[in-house]
Amino acid sequence: QPNQFCEAGIGYGDSSCGDSIPSSSKLLIKGGTVVNAHHQQIADVYIEDGLIVAVNPTITVGDEVRVIDATGKFVMPGGIDPHTHLEFEFMNTVTKDDFFSGQAAALAGGTTMHIDFAIPIDGSLTAGFEAYEKKAQKSCMDYGFHMAITKWDETVAREMELMVEKGINSFKFFMAYKGALMIGDELLLQGLKKCKSLGALAMVHAENGDAIDEGQKKMIELGITGPEGHALSRPPVLEGEATARAIRLADFVNTPLYVVHVMSIDAMEEIAKARTSGQRVIGEPIVSGLALDGSWLWHPDFVTAAKYLMSPPIRKQGHDKALQAALATGVLQLVGTDHCVFNSTQKSLGIDDFRKIPNGVNGIEERMHLVWDIMVESGQISVTDYVRLTSTECARIFNIYPRKGAILPGSDADIIILNPNSSFEVTAKSHHSRVDTNVFEGWRGKGKIEVTISRGRVVWENNELKVAPGTGRYIEMSPFSYLFDGLDKKDASYLNSLQAPVKRAKSTA
């Protein structure tokens, strides 16, 4: 019954698809190399009703069970993208991908869950949350939310508690986008304290927004109005400065910090330094920062240049390789995308002024293939590391492991099958996102995700998507992840150290 299924792009908004996807409740994946972050082995994986029931060298089943042969292939946890912006209203427009098209693209690329940034409405977290709940109704895969904090008062502080009750365990602070989302140090400090008390993870977009404002004015004065002006106005030093500042404030408060989209050596080195000193800082590079060279912003064709424009900018030569090495050696912990797509017409809003070009690039569909190609095929990381960087570590940080991020009995059956001997190619023509360009256009590599299974349903197979709006679930995430373990002890020993009395001689003057 082929009409039971919806193709991405065709099925969008087609309510006739609704819940008609069969539950395909029993599935056996046979003979593949099952990879978890801690271990890999040749084994069968048996799935029932969306959950993994057994992982064993040999599992026999009856005729009613569908069997997928994975001999010679890797069977791995579906990717989890910690950083996306679907149906995001930003810079006077809204991203092309919504919760259906973006997730369909994700599934076609082996990602089975993402965490999107819910944005407050006029500072109200509750209103923002409700708006995102509505946007996410068309979901076709599992998702969670971070919440941005854009202003500060008692109401916001109370609403943060409410958000935690609703399953949000991370809050993002924008240190850039002056006049829009940006917050200052005073608010950041309050936010960090509140996050700590809630056991919620503070996340920062780390660039110095005040200095960028100066840099932008300078470029316009110099007559540099094209996309290259974007990179020139916000150099790596401003990312390094803000990263260092956020890290120090988080240290002062003694709360963990997550730095989103680490794009430069400058920022990465601040994270390395903090981690070496024992501070709990997580660094998230994104696939465009790992894979691309920012020289594209100097391309003579405006649309070509503008499609690479995001913040912080994709840096010129050298930063990509350094970020890869940092990821391989544990300085950085997981890979996101910052998928935030605008088509050529939208990018052209800034044809005369780079400050008006909507910021953002694609990646939700490409991340799993590119990380495989760049990191595993190049020999920089192992296959178990690949699973950790694309899935498991994200699940641990956001406290949903081992329900997500693992192929273990009891885990959700979010699984991909990757054929290391096949190849992939990226083109805007063949991708599943709604955006009309692709920053990885023409990229070819080894390793192809042939099957994606989302909670036990085969949603991607034979280069075809079988997805329907309304089938994705909201994943609640509890506070106090492993990053908070032992922090109270550190606080206590700090307080103890203060209470040592200082003995002073009585003044006789």
Strands 26-35 and 444-454: unpaired
With tokens 């959950």, the residue in question is: 51
CB 106 within 8 A of CB 139: no
Sign of CA dihedral 302, 308, 311, 317: negative
Write the binding mask 97 to 126 for ligand URP: x where contact by CB under 6 A, - elsewhere: ------------------------------
C-alpha span between 387 and 371 (Å, rounded): 10
* Of the residues 8, 11, 128, 394, which one makes contact with Zn ion according to CB under 5 A: 11
CB 261 within 8 A of CB 312: yes
Q: Which does 201 bind (CB under 5 to 8 A by kind): ligand URP, Zn ion, none?
A: none
Dig out the tokens for 410 from the structure: 């009891």
Shortest Cβ distance from residue 283 to ligand URP (Å)?
15
Name the amino acid, one letter, at 207: E
* Of the residues 28, 68, 85, 175, which one makes contact with ligand URP according to CB under 6 A: 85
User: What is the full DSSP assignment across 374-414?
Assistant: IIITTTSS-HHHHHIIIIIHHHHHTT-TTTSS--STTSB--
* Of the residues 43, 340, 397, 417, which one makes contact with ligand URP according to CB under 6 A: 340
* Of the residues 17, 250, 314, 334, which one makes contact with Zn ion according to CB under 5 A: 17
Dig out the tokens for 494 from the structure: 């700090």
With tokens 């809003």, the residue in question is: 349
Q: Which does 11 bind (CB under 5 to 8 A by kind): Zn ion, ligand URP, none?
A: Zn ion
- Please give the helix or strand (H or E) that residue 206 lies within, else none: none
Write the binding mask 254 to 273 for ligand URP: x where contact by CB under 6 A, - elsewhere: -------x------------
Q: Does 338 bind ligand URP (CB under 6 A)?
A: yes
DSSP state of 366: T
Q: Does 102 bind Zn ion (CB under 5 A)?
A: no
* Of the residues 360, 363, 402, 479, which one makes contact with ligand URP according to CB under 6 A: 360
Shortest Cβ distance from residue 309 to ligand URP (Å)?
7
Shortest Cβ distance from residue 41 to Zn ion (Å)?
36
Shortest Cβ distance from residue 313 to Zn ion (Å)?
12
Q: Which does 310 bind (CB under 5 to 8 A by kind): Zn ion, ligand URP, none?
A: ligand URP
Shortest Cβ distance from residue 117 to ligand URP (Å)?
7
Q: Which residue number, 84 or 112, has a Cβ lying nearer to ligand URP?
A: 84
Write the binding mask 310 to 339 for Zn ion: x where contact by CB under 5 A, - elsewhere: ----------------------------x-
C-alpha span between 55 and 206 (Å, rounded): 42
Instruction: Name, in order, each residue with C-beta under 8 angstroms of 456's C-beta and a sequence gap of 6 or more.
Output: 23, 24, 25, 27, 47, 48, 49, 50, 51, 413
- Say how many residues touch Zn ion, by CB under 5 A: 6
- Let me know if 279 is exposed, middle or buried by CB neighbors in 10 A (0-12, 13-18, 19+): middle
- Let me know if 304 is exposed, middle or buried by CB neighbors in 10 A (0-12, 13-18, 19+): middle
CA distances from 245 to 188, 249, 452 (A): 10, 6, 41
Q: Which residue number, 363 or 469, has a Cβ lying nearer to ligand URP?
A: 363
* Of the residues 6, 47, 86, 332, which one makes contact with Zn ion according to CB under 5 A: 6
Name the amino acid, one letter, at 331: V
Name which of residues 171 to 210 contact ligand URP (CB under 6 A).
205
Q: Does 202 bind Zn ion (CB under 5 A)?
A: no
Name which of residues 405 to 424 contact Zn ion (CB under 5 A).
none
Q: Which does 359 bind (CB under 5 to 8 A by kind): ligand URP, Zn ion, none?
A: ligand URP
Name the amino acid, one letter, at 208: N
Name which of residues 299 to 328 contact ligand URP (CB under 6 A).
310-311
Name which of residues 427 to 486 contact ligand URP (CB under 6 A).
none
101-132 core/surface letters (b: 16 or more CB in 10 A; e: else): bbbbbbbbbbbbbbbbbbbbbeebbeebbebb
Binding site for Zn ion (CB under 5 A): 6, 11, 14, 17, 205, 338
Binding site for ligand URP (CB under 6 A): 85, 205, 261, 310-311, 338, 340, 359-360
